[in-house]
Amino acid sequence: MLEIKTNFQSSKIGNDDTDNEDAVFFDLTKNKFAIADGATTGMYSQKWANMLVKSFINSEKGLFDDPSIFDEIITTAKVEWKNAIPWDTLAWNAKAKAEQGSFSTFLGLDLKPDAGFRWNAISVGDSCLFKIKSGQITGSFPLQNSSEFNYNPHLICSISDSYKSHITTISGMLETDESLLLATDSVSKWIAQRHETNPTENILKVLPQDNVEIKEFFGKEIDAGNMKNDDLTLLVISH
């Protein structure tokens, strides 16, 4: 049985909670998890990020069933996006901007019970998955180093198939003393930097348990210049 150890989200400091354009969605009965980071430069990014994670989780099929399932998931989200926009009532600028599409990163994780759990993950962009064993990071996906994070990650667009050339996948096993940590770019880069500075650090002990304390902790890291002020998402899944 999988367990959510941490499910934390907060908006960029200075913004309202309703401005948060990160999305997280999971279903423990399906063993499926997803996060997405809507691009602030676009319009309806919050909607689009939420449609992507929900389309992934709500799909009857998973990454184990059919390699092409991801295209179906994105197509479903695209149709929903197009139907959700009130095209006829938009102001001239909103209509022109919406016609350019909405953009988001995506990271989906699908697990299957085995001796432990087998897992498949799929990604577009810089939202990351970290493998953790006894508290220590043993791998990350899709980015490997903190230097790989920049302001122009690959994105899934609501009106284009350009994401197809930027899909990356990975699979693995989750043992009893292991966790999988999913995070959007600001938290991911911060974790990658800490790991590069101190590879044996127990990241699960560094992170507070309680969401109020995590928010305070990350706020201090942002103030100290160790973390980018951005929407933050952190999901820790343990066996």
Q: Site residues (CB under 8 A) for another protein? A: 14, 19, 40-47, 90-100, 151
Q: In sequence order, which residues have a C-beta less than 8 Å from that of residue 235 and are 6 or more positions away?
A: 4, 6, 7, 8, 24, 26, 33, 35, 181, 182, 183
Position 114: which residue type? D
**Angle 220-37-176 from CA coordinates, rounded to 5°:** 75
Nearer to another protein, 44 or 130 (CB): 44
Lookup: tokens for 82 = 């197009």
CB atoms within 10 A of CB 61: 13
CB of 167 to another protein, least distance (A): 22
Nearer to another protein, 42 or 62 (CB): 42
By the 8 A CB rule, do 101 and 120 touch?
Answer: no
Nearer to another protein, 77 or 235 (CB): 77
Nearer to another protein, 78 or 195 (CB): 78
CB of 107 to another protein, least distance (A): 23
Lookup: tokens for 29 = 């009965």
Lookup: tokens for 204 = 């699960």
Nearest to 2 by CA among 205, 239, 175: 239
CB of 204 to another protein, least distance (A): 31
Q: In sequence order, which residues have a C-beta less than 8 Å from that of residue 89 and are 6 or more positions away?
A: none
Nearer to another protein, 40 or 146 (CB): 40
Nearer to another protein, 212 or 224 (CB): 224
CB of 150 to another protein, least distance (A): 12
DSSP letter at 126 equals S
CB of 101 to another protein, least distance (A): 12
CB of 96 to another protein, least distance (A): 6
